[in-house]
Amino acid sequence: MALNQQQQLDAILTAYGPIVGMLLILLGIALTLAGPRLIPLLTAWALFIPFAFTAGAVANAFLGVDARIAIWIGIGVGMLAGYSGQSLGKYFHIIVGGAVGMGVMAIILSLLIEFYDFNWIVAAVALDISFIIGARLAKDAKEAVTFVSSASLGGISVAAGVAITSAGMKGLDDFDPATGQSAMIIVACILVGSFFQQWRYADDFE
């Protein structure tokens, strides 16, 4: 009996789940222990993905380029964006600080909107100001922010990898970085990774 699309997808995810999980675990360990060395690569990859998808979609949907050619156009644009932007890795701590500032402001706004009615312009300005404040506060804390943030990313990757390896891709349904096994893995990675990076890479920031 032929499998429907959903069943085929589930079969593929079941078959490749352990492989994906192990790759995430290996990536997480690398981030936890060697985060500062991988930041330029992560920055390049973070720029490659959105630029590649956007360029490919625009070329195919709006310029009428054949899908197979559009894919290569997207890859080319993504590679250029990643290569050009990898030097931004040295500002990683500032970006993280700004992102944290925006996250805090987003939480505050979500609470205030229950009591006050304000338009999106006010929210946008508040988020921009919070990004600047967060980036400014992180400017003089490059070492700490880099170590903790890379170890945190590593911990999340390891925890997600363990969830997938043990329960397949559906294990992500129970993945909760705030509780249970996932939380313990993330905390352990942050502690071990931060101390290890402090010992191994502190001289690179002097």
Give 92-138 pLDDT, tens digit per residue. 677 777 777 887 888 888 887 777 776 667 777 787 888 888 878 77
Give pLDDT tens digits for 44-89. 766 776 788 788 878 877 778 787 788 888 888 888 887 777 666 6
User: Is the Cβ–Cβ distance between 24 and 158 less than 8 Å?
Assistant: yes
- 17 pLDDT higher than 70: no
pTM tops 0.75: no
Q: How far is CA 75 from CA 45, 71, 91, in A?
A: 12, 6, 25
* Per-residue burial over 101-111, b = 16 or more CB atoms within 10 Å of its CB, e = otherwise: bbeebeeebee
User: Is the Cβ–Cβ distance between 130 and 104 less than 8 Å?
Assistant: yes
User: Is the Cβ–Cβ distance between 14 and 169 less than 8 Å?
Assistant: yes
Q: Which residues contact 42 (CB under 8 A, 6 or more apart)?
A: 31, 89, 153
How much is the pLDDT for 157? 84
Whole-number average pLDDT of the chain: 76
